[in-house]
Each structure stands twice: as structure tokens, then as C-alpha cells.
Amino acid sequence: MVKKAEQYFTSQPTSTHDFHTIHFDFAGKQLVFQTDAGVFSKSRIDYGTVVLLSAVHDYFAEIPAGKILDLGTGYGPVGVAIKAIDQTKDVVMVDVNQRSLALAEENLAANHYQAQILQSNIYENITDQFAAIIVNPPIRAGKEVVTKMLIEARKQLVAGGMIFAVLQKKQGAHSAEKHLRDAFGNVEVLKRDKGYYVLRSIRN
């Protein structure tokens, strides 16, 4: 299990390439993704991501004007899906994993969208503020990483900006809920589905 975590939460995976193609229907669009070994959920769109995107789609109109950050983009399903909802949105797709970022760039092009691709260890190389941060935290990277993604989101959001995060109940959703409440002063559960919780906090 530790080896798997290192593969997708490291800057330069060394695992042998194993390419897959995934098709995903979302927001009335047929999206296509190429994946590879050494990235998260290479065989299918992770169910937590599906639940997260469903909630984001439902509440998309409440996101204020401004850029959207896809934090921990992997091969890009969240960022590409946001562009499928509204291709005029300015999306920044961030990951520490160079292989993931190369795939995210390919997948944007394959779906005829454009977004900014940026390598960063969480918020390390991020200077902008965002209208929304969307994250499916890498649980296997450890609690410290997950907690940092959540609580440090506040300073990266504009006033009225919001974070959407998905976690499984058995992997710390209630703990994440507490961290968000402490950091933001508010948190709500937007969606529950098969043990996955989609949480939202707003910078007031």
C-alpha cells in the first residue's frame, strides 16, 4: 500500500507505463481520458470523484466569479469536467506528479478544452486566489497532507469563495468536517453517497 501511495503522490513516478482509455459522460458531454500507471485510479473515474463532480454540478451556480482550482488533478477528470460545465471558466489544474500533469494536458486537448497546468506540492507554488477549490484528497498520502489541503484552502480563496471536498466516512470525513469548520467557521454536507461525503465550506 505504501508503494502505491508513493507512485501517485510523488513528483516523478518510475512505474512501467500501462496506458488505459476511459470514457465518462458528464454535463451532457462525452469525455475521454487517457490514464497510465503511477497515477490515481487509472482504470476508471474514482467513485468519490464522480460523487464530487455531481455535487459541484448541482451547486455550480453558487460559485462566484473567478478562477477554479482543481487541486490534485491527477490525469484531469475534475478540471476537464469543470470545462464541460462551462468552458469559459478559468481553471487551474495542479498536481505534484509530473506524469499526471502530462496526462492532464493531453486530456484537455483530447476534449478540446484549455486550462492552466501547474506543478505544485499542495499550495506551494500557488499565488492566485480562487472562487472555488475542488479536491478529492489523496488519503494514502497521510492525514497531514489531507489536513493541509483543507485548512490552508481558506487563504487561497476570495471572499465568498468555496472549497468542495470529498472523503469517505471510513477514511476521515467527520474529521475533515471538523477541520473545515475550525478553519472556515462553517461547513455543510452537500451530498452523501455510498459512504462518500461531499463537504463545502465558504470563506465569509
Q: Phi and psi dihedrals of 105, rounded to 5?
A: -65, -45
User: How confident is the model at residue 10, as a pLDDT?
Assistant: 55
Q: Which of 43-47, 50-54, 159-163, 188-192 has the lowest mean pLDDT?
A: 43-47
Per-residue pLDDT at 200 exceeds 70: yes
Residue % of the chain over a pLDDT of 70: 90
Query: With contact defined as beta carbons under 8 Å apart, do 105 and 138 qualify?
Result: no
Rounded to 5°, angle at Cα 197 from 93 and 105: 15
User: How confident is the model at residue 139, as a pLDDT?
Assistant: 76
User: How confident is the model at residue 197, as a pLDDT?
Assistant: 98
Residue % of the chain over a pLDDT of 90: 77
The count of other CB atoms within 10 Å of the CB of residue 146 is: 23
**2 vs 51, residue with greater confidence:** 51
How confident is the prediction for the chain on average, in pLDDT?
Answer: 91
pTM score above 0.75: yes
Question: How far apart, in whole angstroms, are the C-alpha atoms of residue 4 and residue 179?
Answer: 26
Q: How confident is the model at residue 67 (pLDDT cuts 50, 70, 90)?
A: very high
Q: What integer is the mean pLDDT of 4-20?
A: 60
DSSP H helical segments within the chain, as ranges? 2-8, 47-58, 77-85, 98-110, 143-151, 173-184
Tell me the per-residue pLDDT of 105-163, one tens digit each, with 9 for 90 and over: 999 999 999 999 999 999 999 999 999 999 999 877 778 999 999 999 999 999 999 99
Domains and CATH numbers, the chain: 2-202 (3.40.50.150)
Per-residue pLDDT at 59 exceeds 90: yes
User: How confident is the model at residue 177, as a pLDDT?
Assistant: 97
